Amino acid sequence: MALAAVTLAKCHIQNINILAQQILLVTVIADYVEESKRFIPEAVAFCQGALLMAVENEENERAPSTAFPISLPHRRMLFVTEDLPKDSVVEPVKFSEVFADKEGAMDDSDINRCRVLRSLIAVVQKYRLIYAAHEHTFTATFSPFVDLLKRIPVSRLPTVVGDEIEALTRSMEAECKARSRLTQMSRVTTEKSMLKMLEPRFEEDFDPERPRLSRDQKRKGAKAEKEKLQHLVKKETRGAIKELRKDSSFLIRKQRKETAAKDRDRREKTKRLMSGLQSQQGEWNKELWESGKKKKK
């Protein structure tokens, strides 16, 4: 692969026979990278430079590599100068014909140019299908091809070659346009909330000497009475809950005091009983010692 890439980039194209050989080489490279979709810049540059030789290029138009000639008439090696019959049979380039000796080599004629150009169009179509998976670089890679394909004098070519060029141009241009739609990064815009405007309320019968008059009028009526009763109910409910809490805490404190008094009384009674029993036991032991029934230890 490295040798083929170097050959495409540095092998000087001196005649149409060498150009056909290079086209066959770039076709082999396309078969090699068809599954891996590996990008070969030398192959793409060669196809672009070969298409440049099929148009009426100017001196300021340079090929993408140094392998292509820069002087006339060699830089227009594939440019068809005369009108060919529309029903001409354009045979594919044969391998044996391309790599034959000098006597059997291809001559520089319009029909041979058309044959080589057809092989070039086929390999460009193949690379378009292979690199269709490269969504982000497809447009940058194949946009120059579209411009060159449009400049090829299709009116001078046979119908079969002209149709293939037009079909490739339409498909490649449509795909470039479809993949050139870039989505610019932008911040999320949110609607700004307007300031809440408060409209003043004017009282027509406002009395500055009695400013509470209008407020007192709102406190009259069924609605005002209902609100007053609701407020009173809430107030009484809070008061009742407060009193219940006080009573509950009082009962708990009283119960604790009674329990503590009972415990204290029980401990005192137990202490007195134990003291009486101990004194009786001591007197009983003393009597036993005095009577001699119990020996001292």
Q: In the listed set 126, 151, 179, which residue is the last one of a domain according to the structure?
A: 179
Provide the mean pLDDT of the chain: 84
Domains contained in the chain, number: 2
User: Which range marks the domain in which residue 229 is found?
Assistant: 224-291
Lowest mean pLDDT of 22-31, 60-69, 139-148, 273-282, name the range: 60-69
Q: In the listed set 158, 179, 200, which residue is the last one of a domain according to the structure?
A: 179
Q: Are residues 282 and 153 in the same domain?
A: no
Q: How far is residue 100's CA from residue 183's CA, in Å, rounded to a whole number?
A: 53
Q: Report whether 158 contacts 88 (CB < 8 A).
A: yes
Q: Report whether 42 contacts 9 (CB < 8 A).
A: yes
Residue 7 is assigned to a structural domain of this protein = yes
Q: How far is residue 33's CA from residue 1's CA, in Å, rounded to a whole number?
A: 10
DSSP state of 230: H
Q: In the listed set 124, 149, 179, which residue is the last one of a domain according to the structure?
A: 179
- Per-residue pLDDT tens digits for 144-179: 899 988 998 888 888 898 899 999 999 999 988 888
**Winning range, highest mean pLDDT, from 31-40, 52-61, 92-101, 250-259:** 250-259
Q: Are residues 68 and 158 in the same domain?
A: yes
Query: pTM of this prediction?
Result: 0.57
Residue 214 is assigned to a structural domain of this protein = no
Q: Are residues 48 and 133 in the same domain?
A: yes
